[in-house]
Structure 1
């Protein structure tokens, strides 16, 4: 997600390929989840993205109707394309049929964006959600949209899920040529995957007599007819690279990521490390990829040279796998926890160096990179970050009634401090606190959850080790409560659906709106409580007023800095503060 965003991960001289934004996706197949759901998560990270829940109501259109295309990042009008006769209800990044799509931008090689194209990556997502029921339909729709109308954005990784399966699709433009080159792979059931602004699909099974489960875009209709197909790719994904002197090796060893988006230090340290952090929580043995994920050792037989055609000898040999099989099944609460990671428990734990300040805050001001005495350094880019506009966990469930089963667990602001609220994707109206147009990135609104959560979170940054535990306690109570109570909500919705489907939709709309507004009101009061308690570097605790007193002062704590931090002060100030 790069909505109106400037470069965030310019961390080394070769980071010209890295995207102008930073988002994170994790993907869980039904066989890898506790309840058999497919799940994808998404953090839309941008310093100027406003957190709101998008809504595209279902609609019917007359023959000849046209749809305006407005670039998602910039708001620029691009053009028009023909509209279809019927579009589906979409709430956020999930539609009424429980199709969910998310993305991270990896950028890729320069010169492959096509300014004459009509379809940007944001439009590609939301048009597809309005026109497709399944992950397979979505892949076909996306491929046809960019082929027919041209692709205007840089390289993207897409997470595509429905209740039955999860796919990863990576796509990049063809410069002055119309369309895009791409590869889509179904994640094996029982496995999990992730991507975070670095292309991750390397080699893939080519369509031939030995690989009957692979097809090219030439035969994309088979994707909908044959459930065994688990790889589909643009017919010219390899030939385009060879024709443009990007690749000079055997077709069978072609690596999409290594040709179209070669990983460098920033691609590993700011991007792949977020995938590593999630994998490290679900499988053993991730230590072997630590040097790669930190960018300290990207092992190539021959160095990558910009502008030269690559061969397999230029490809890294120590990359992480695209997917892993978790030791234990993953729950929706686990997914929320993955989104809140700050590299805790590693040598790069963001709460443990002097940059965290005296109260161990795991966030750093931008820019991420800086130079001292001719040496370049970086701040870490963890999954949870302060500039998140919104994030979610999309839960595609195998419920008896498919079109009232989808839930997008939606939150605004920093994922570590947000509360993921269940929004049923059949809902027909968005609650005011999340509604588009209720405030903006430069327009404060007292009724917008984005601003209320930002008040709490930004206050927490000032005394993080004391305030954040209070946030986490309330966060856990809300989320666990909703997870525990969803079954009863589903049961009541199913009863109403038998009477009248519209009644079930109305009920779930009311439930989602009520819970979101209740949360927002509570968080508003929570900010008041936290501000009073922690103002002026104090921690105040109210005391019972004795009967003989008109008022009684609160108990006041003034926590000292850690010895480590005091030593840092002395190291910088010498004897200036010494008592004589």
Structure 2
């Protein structure tokens, strides 16, 4: 998502912290437990409504035009010629299991082309309609941006298919009048690197590609002027072999590392050994100790591991947000915006973890090698990844479940049938007493995701003898009905949490939340006083954690002290 910046001057002159941002993890087939290529993405923005987008495949007549609208704002940009045939897309995946995710790193502000007519969101969704492989997608992105002009700031793209995964970084060239009312610098400079099989990569709103090989087209592609343009602009001096894309076009500083690359480090340290050596970099203290572009995991990475890495709050690190008094009396790992605050003339930060409250939608997409290409899976969810749940949407799906529809509610209009609003209801309730409520939510999430991951291999046999059309119709129905089932389950969870945790108390239960959801879920689930009138018994009053109590005493203990 587009970067919004707050100056973080106290930490480092000119440094910035993103107030809205995204996170991508990329897992090659040789690094995954099921030989699938995986890309995760959290679309994070305080203004984005979480919905699932679908475009049907089409055959188009000569002369047909495609209107282009800026994804972030809805602003009309231009019309471009439509191609003869386009592919079906669902979310950030198409029917050929091509996946594209992104994070915005911004980069040098003077390189934004105000006359550009293709924004980064349009590059994603138009390319998904036109390309079938990762390499074809890279060519399509370059052609679109160079033909119509690039309307956004610097971007990192995750681009994957069932065989390979790439990280591509690009930025515009700014504006220079060509004497004819046009832009002499129209287009982009860019580099794309193929992630070695068996490795994982990640990006999170900071440019990640530094030096790169110029003689390995199988594994590295780049704009012919990527180095010469940097020289022309005064961004680089030296030998071509020493050229670093990131250092030229998006130099790192304390803010971009602490607020962005730290999320990459959190993922790497979860799946790979030796990452503690980069802790000082992740915290912004030693920018020379740069993270590698990719790492080899200690063991192969499962889809569920990727799901859970998207739920990270820096647990177990110095940046763990549950450990200081800012977490309140219930260890809440969130800090509301703005990203910085000032006390007695000194500025401090609020951490920006992978899981964040302002997520619109998120996914983990799988391009699979054990099934037809139209059986790739978009594990899709809405709202904060830490307290929401992913459900499988097959990439050939031809219908959006009502609960995920763009037409069902908006950021300014509540809808009782919208998954985005339902998950926000549950999550915002959880923020009040996070330590207890999130634990119940996580039990439900883990069971749902593990059960549906276990069911996936069975679909291969189920559709084995179906025609292409029958398979797609069946998988569409599975995707839609499963999403509907998740919505119903979360509605029941919403009611359960309110009954159990209302008014700061906790009602005692005969069994846990899963029993409630899998059974009738009535009053009999909770402990009553035995008089047959559904009056609760053994009500618990958990109070607050020790750190919070000591902080209150330090702040106002003389007034609150009990005198005996």
Q: TM-score, normalised by structure 2?
A: 0.93
8 A Cα contact 1:182 1:234, kept in partner: yes
1:343-422 aligned at under 5 Å gives the runs: 343-403=314-374, 405-422=375-392
- Measured against aligned partners, the alpha-carbon deviations of 1:323-372 in whole angstroms (never above 9, x if no partner) come to 00011001110100110000001122111110100000101110111122
1:422-571 aligned at under 5 Å gives the runs: 422-496=392-466, 500-541=467-508, 542-544=526-528, 546=530, 549-571=532-554
Match of 1:153 in 2: 152
8 A Cα contact 1:93 1:100, kept in partner: yes
- CA distance in 1 between partners of 2:286 and 2:503 (Å): 46
- CA distance in 1 between partners of 2:7 and 2:53 (Å): 27
- CA distance in 1 between partners of 2:19 and 2:351 (Å): 16
Q: How many residues align?
A: 536
- CA distance in 2 between partners of 1:187 and 1:9 (Å): 34
Moved more, 18-27 or 524-533: 18-27
- CA distance in 1 between partners of 2:18 and 2:142 (Å): 22
Question: Against the structure 1 CA distance between its residues 556 and 203, is the aligned structure 2 distance closer, same or farther, given a 3 Å change threshold?
Answer: same
1:555 Cα deviation (Å)? 2.5
- CA distance in 2 between partners of 1:469 and 1:19 (Å): 29
Match of 1:142 in 2: 141
- CA distance in 2 between partners of 1:46 and 1:16 (Å): 21
- CA distance in 2 between partners of 1:538 and 1:438 (Å): 34
8 A Cα contact 2:18 2:259, kept in partner: no
- Measured against aligned partners, the alpha-carbon deviations of 1:411-448 in whole angstroms (never above 9, x if no partner) come to 00000111110000101101101111110011111111
SS in 1 for 2:486: helix
Match of 2:295 in 1: 324
1:62-141 aligned at under 5 Å gives the runs: 62-141=61-140
- CA distance in 2 between partners of 1:9 and 1:121 (Å): 24
- Measured against aligned partners, the alpha-carbon deviations of 1:51-92 in whole angstroms (never above 9, x if no partner) come to 100111111110011111100011000111111011100000
| 2:257 pairs with 1:268 | yes
1:182-261 aligned at under 5 Å gives the runs: 182-206=190-214, 211=215, 213-214=216-217, 229-261=218-250
1:12-23 aligned at under 5 Å gives the runs: 14=13, 21-23=20-22
Query: How big is the alpha-carbon RMSD for the aligned residues of Structure 1 and Structure 2?
Result: 1.5
1:545 Cα deviation (Å)? 5.6
Question: Against the structure 1 CA distance between its residues 331 and 9, is the aligned structure 2 distance closer, same or farther, given a 3 Å change threshold?
Answer: farther
SS in 2 for 1:371: strand
8 A Cα contact 2:507 2:527, kept in partner: no
Moved more, 536-545 or 33-42: 536-545
- CA distance in 2 between partners of 1:20 and 1:57 (Å): 34
SS in 1 for 2:460: helix
SS in 2 for 1:111: helix
- CA distance in 1 between partners of 2:378 and 2:387 (Å): 18
- CA distance in 2 between partners of 1:385 and 1:261 (Å): 24
8 A Cα contact 1:191 1:324, kept in partner: yes
- CA distance in 2 between partners of 1:273 and 1:446 (Å): 37
- CA distance in 2 between partners of 1:194 and 1:147 (Å): 26
Question: Against the structure 1 CA distance between its residues 441 and 9, is the aligned structure 2 distance closer, same or farther, given a 3 Å change threshold?
Answer: farther
| 2:269 pairs with 1:280 | yes
1:157-168 aligned at under 5 Å gives the runs: 157-168=156-167
Which of 550, 555, 559 aligns to 1:572? It is 555
1:384 Cα deviation (Å)? 0.4
1:293 Cα deviation (Å)? 0.8
1:8 Cα deviation (Å)? 6.2
8 A Cα contact 2:128 2:137, kept in partner: yes
8 A Cα contact 1:114 1:151, kept in partner: yes
- Measured against aligned partners, the alpha-carbon deviations of 1:292-338 in whole angstroms (never above 9, x if no partner) come to 11001223xxxxxxxxxxxxxxxxxx211000001100111010011
Match of 1:293 in 2: 282
Question: Against the structure 1 CA distance between its residues 551 and 511, is the aligned structure 2 distance closer, same or farther, given a 3 Å change threshold?
Answer: closer
8 A Cα contact 1:17 1:261, kept in partner: no
- CA distance in 1 between partners of 2:557 and 2:267 (Å): 42
SS in 1 for 2:465: helix
1:20 Cα deviation (Å)? 5.9
Gaps of 5+ in 1: 215-228, 300-317
1:18 Cα deviation (Å)? 6.1
- CA distance in 1 between partners of 2:247 and 2:545 (Å): 45
- CA distance in 1 between partners of 2:54 and 2:424 (Å): 23
8 A Cα contact 1:44 1:391, kept in partner: yes
Question: Against the structure 1 CA distance between its residues 358 and 320, is the aligned structure 2 distance closer, same or farther, given a 3 Å change threshold?
Answer: same
| 2:186 pairs with 1:178 | yes
Moved more, 530-539 or 161-170: 530-539
Show structure 1 runs of 4+ deviating over 6 A. Answer: none
8 A Cα contact 2:22 2:43, kept in partner: yes
SS in 1 for 2:35: coil
SS in 1 for 2:187: strand
